[in-house]
Amino acid sequence: MTALLESLSNELAAAVETAGRAVVAIHARRRIPASGVSWRPGVIVATNHTIRRDDNITVTLPDGTSAPATLAGRDPSTDLAVLKLPGQSLASASLRRDGPPRVGELVIALGRPGARLTASWGIVSGVAGPWRTWQGGEIDSLLRLDLSIYDGFSGGPLIDAAGRVLGINTSGLARGAPVTIPVTTVDRTAAELLERGSIRRAYLGIGTQPVRVPQSLARRLELTNAMGLLIASVEPGGPADRDGVLLGDVLLALDGAEVSDPTDLLAKLGGDRVGRTVAARVIRGGQVKTLQVTPGERPERRAA
């Protein structure tokens, strides 16, 4: 038994050492540096909430030297940011792309909140399907972790026992609880950030809150779903305002799909909807009305 434990310990230490060659410290906020991963030559992936400034960013490399980096783009909705680090011979991470890990699988979170590499090990406590963040970002799978995430770990990798990267760890998407943004999501988001600097998403310029349609009205209107979204605010001059959406309307469906929660609306406003007219079914003055609305490209920090 002792020999088996010693062998496992050595294998895990070797995996940490190997994967750690692609983990850097990022100096883009006060106090403790954040972590980042060399995703491919010249490209560092990090978490958006730890990159507090757009300029004067430096990176501490695994050998202890420092180098300047430039921000290529950021996406608050998935909590990802991408930095460019040209001219450095830094090892790239070995990525595991054969699907999410299994519940109970042994995993290690790495960070470099300074010059030295740190590690925390545990298991995958939960795996679920795609989910959407409160800002509308689509994450390909939900990976919950049973391990400790220390200061500076956000932006670091989650690795398996072979040292392959499963995704990027963050405490910025689930109220401080550690979750991992899987490799597939990181690949997709990083590619668009490198190309455009931001993630293209549609928006209507409205604020909504769930509301239950009174039972008598729902019966009279022959609604199949008594839940909808009350239009609580309309941005002046925004897409919805230009197309006749009014404060107090109750949105029932967008493009034929029922909406009863703000996340339903966000799910319908992907980048492919920008400039594409869709039907919005609303209750107005006790009657059902269909409006034609054309979403615009969402500015940063807009919800819907």
**3-state SS, residue 4:** helix
Helices (H), the chain: 2-20, 183-196, 215-220, 239-242, 262-267
CB 106 within 8 A of CB 161: yes
Instruction: Choose the catalytic residue: 75, 79, 140, 249.
Output: 79
Give me the catalytic one of 27, 49, 120, 249.
49
Other CB atoms within a 10 A radius of the CB of residue 121 amount to 15
Identify the residue whose tokens are 């406590």.
125
Please say if 27 is a catalytic residue.
no
Which phi and psi angles does 191 have, rounded to 5°?
A: -60, -45
- Whether 35 and 113 have beta carbons less than 8 Å apart is answered as yes
Does residue 260 have an active-site annotation? no
- Could you confirm whether 49 is annotated as catalytic? yes
Selected catalytic residue, list 154, 160, 260, 264: 154
HSE-CB at 234 with a 13 A cutoff on CA atoms is 18
Positions marked catalytic: 49, 79, 154
